[in-house]
Amino acid sequence: MNAASSTAWWKEAVTYQIYVRSFADSDGDGIGDLNGIRSRLPYLRELGVDAVWLTPCYPSPQHDHGYDVADYTDIEPAYGTLHDFDQLVAEAHDSGLRVLLDIVPNHCSIEHPWFKAALAAGPGSPERERFHFRQGNGDGPPNNWRSMFGGSAWQPTGDGEWFLHLFTPEQPDWNWNHPDVAAMFEDVLRFWLDRGADGFRIDVAHGLYKHPEFPDAEDPFEEERVADAMNVLAWNRPEVHEVYRSWRRIADSYAERDGKDRPFIGEITGIAKRHLADYVQPDQLHQGFFFEMLDSPFDAEAYGTTVRRGLEQAARTQAPVTWVLGNHDTVRVATRYGGGAPGAGPGDIEAGTARARAAALLALALPGAVYIYQGEELALPEVVDLPLDRLTDPVYRRTEGRRLGRDGCRVPLPWSGTAAPYGFSTNADTWLPQPPYFAQYTAEAAQADAQSTWHLYRAALRIRHEVLTDAGPVQFLPTPPGVLAFRRGDGFTFALNTGDAPVDAPHSGTPVLASAPMPEGKLPAHAAAWWTD
Ligand code: NOJ
């Protein structure tokens, strides 16, 4: 059964994350857009994913590439129009793909009309109550909280007050105690659901509420740590769960009308990671990214622990695990597993790619949902050596270069050809430059090579649909160190070898899929395989 056809389609769905700026450009400005996505729907269909998640495509001055929203109910002009959005949704639905949007409720943009009104209205005004404006402490900020992207979490307004921004100063935090804010977001959800959106990824879902008195954090967070993700006063407050209860009622009211679930998937990080189970409840969020897999080293024992933890949590919460190996905030998996990163060099890209292929087979063999970040199916590496004067991530600017930021995983995708812009655009001056070695990673080249990672993903998605949906729980098999193996139901076996030498496969016969050739039936180092009986 195709997971996309069932009511609870999201439980086993494979969702492809589209970083809109970098997926495909239709109008030659070097920036991806909605019509570019439309033109590539056949590619996604052929790959075999069930849904796409679009990163924020609302009007935004792009200080954090769309995570600074100026208008929650329109489309960023560089990306297209509402009409383009409607066309995209209709065509995606026609080709059997669901469309998830990205909602950003913790903060907006300094360009949002309510924030502009708050600045203009001045201290003590009702307009300022929709945000967190406070008097400074002497000459300094109201407290010692730090921004996730470096520096103080407070920005002075010049009239004695400061406003809170847990990310950049261009992203003021909403005050969720104000009834206008909750009501506005409920309207926003309905606006997009009425236009055909099939669900939402929720940005920093553990944010929204802060300690009402804004006391100093006990640990003032050293400058080197920069990201204040562990501040219990700023994140994961109990009130947030009530927001998701009311959002779930909205999602359920749509599902009741037409029988189609509208899932919410939370991005729950930092201090809240270990509280994920509090969010994924039958009356709150449907899912939350299980970042433990993304954080795991390439190691059979570590994966075993992570998978067991994920599955136990799913059993407790009734929310399927959402496995994830990469996203637009993380060093690309093929580079990460080879020890590379911006500032640290490319690493061993061959080993990293072998490991990334094996890890993909692990994620796709498990019960639950999987998110694929665009380019993972091409084994695309991180661009670790972008010219410093081309870096755009506010993390780079806010940390005065101490952290190079996330641009390296956001470089426009290579689609075809042997020179930039590799079919991404008609304009070689793409918003981030594509390196010459992208010629080896084009979708065109991958599709022409039967051994490519693209074909591995495509085959895995097909087999997953055919034999793994509802295949039954994971039963771990006894294995030597460095090997993880399990059965699902009577007909499926998985094995992964993270060690440095080939091992005997735990299953005889020829695998239906393997991340590397298996001479003499042995499972090579850094490889995984699937068998069906
Ligand atoms: C998480 C998003 O994934 C990231 O890209 C963004 O910078 C922050 N939230 C702030 O919205």
Q: Are 338 and 355 in contact (CB under 8 A)?
A: yes
- Read off the pLDDT of each residue in 119-124 and give the average, rounded to a whole number: 98
Q: 349, 528, 526: which is closest to 440 by C-alpha?
A: 349
State pLDDT tens for residues 275-328. Answer: 999 999 999 999 999 999 999 999 999 999 999 999 999 999 999 999 999 999
Please identify, by atom number, the ligand 1 atom nearest to the C-alpha of residue 394: 7
Catalytic residue among 12, 33, 267, 382: 267
33 flagged as catalytic:
no
Please identify, by atom number, the ligand 1 atom nearest to the C-alpha of residue 104: 11
- Read off the pLDDT of each residue in 480-505 and give the average, rounded to a whole number: 96
Domain edges within the chain = 3-106+179-448, 113-164, 473-532
Structure confidence at residue 247 as a pLDDT band (50, 70, 90): very high
According to the 3-state scheme, what is the secondary structure of 11-32?
HCCEEEEECHHHCCCCCCCCCC
Q: Do domains 3-106+179-448 and 473-532 have the same CATH topology?
A: no
- Read off the pLDDT of each residue in 440-449 and give the average, rounded to a whole number: 98
- Read off the pLDDT of each residue in 524-533 and give the average, rounded to a whole number: 96
Distance, in Å, from the CA atom of 146 to the CA atom of 417, rounded to the nearest integer, reads 45
481 preceded by a cis bond (ω within 30 of 0): no
Catalytic residue among 161, 203, 377, 393: 203
**With 60 as the cut, is the pLDDT of residue 396 above it?**
yes
Q: 531, 450, 11, 520: which is closest to 261 by C-alpha?
A: 11
State pLDDT tens for residues 376-390. Answer: 999 999 999 999 999
CB neighbours of 237 closer than 8 A, spacing ≥ 6?
208, 209, 210, 211
Task: Check residue 490 and give its pLDDT.
Answer: 86
Q: Give the HSE-up count for residue 522: Cα atoms under 13 Å, Cβ half-sphere.
A: 11
State pLDDT tens for residues 160-217. Answer: 999 999 999 999 999 999 999 999 999 999 999 999 999 999 999 999 999 999 999 8
Please name the residue whose Cα sits nearest to atom 11 of ligand 1: 67
Distance, in Å, from the CA atom of 157 to the CA atom of 159, rounded to the nearest integer, reads 6
Which residue in this structure is represented by tokens 């098999």?
477
173 lines ligand 1 (CB under 6 A): no
Domain 113-164 = CATH 3.30.1490.100 = no
Q: How far is CA 124 from the centre of its chain?
A: 38
CATH number of 473-532: 2.60.40.1180
Task: Check residue 224 and give its pLDDT.
Answer: 42
Task: Check residue 226 and give its pLDDT.
Answer: 47
What is the percent of the chain where pLDDT is above 90?
90
How far does the chain reach from its first CA to its final CA, in angstroms?
19
Distance, in Å, from the CA atom of 84 to the CA atom of 451, rounded to the nearest integer, reads 36
- Read off the pLDDT of each residue in 527-531 and give the average, rounded to a whole number: 98
- Which of 68, 101, 203 gets mutated to test ligand 1 (max ligand atoms within 8 A of its CB)? 203
The CATH architecture assigned to 3-106+179-448 reads Alpha-Beta Barrel (3.20)
Distance 312 CA to ligand 1 centre (A): 28
Q: How far is CA 380 from the centre of its chain?
A: 16
Q: CA torsion 47→460→496→14, rounded to 10°?
A: 70
Distance, in Å, from the CA atom of 378 to the CA atom of 43, rounded to the nearest integer, reads 12
DSSP E strand stretches across 233-363: 264-266, 287-290, 322-324
Distance, in Å, from the CA atom of 100 to the CA atom of 205, rounded to the nearest integer, reads 15
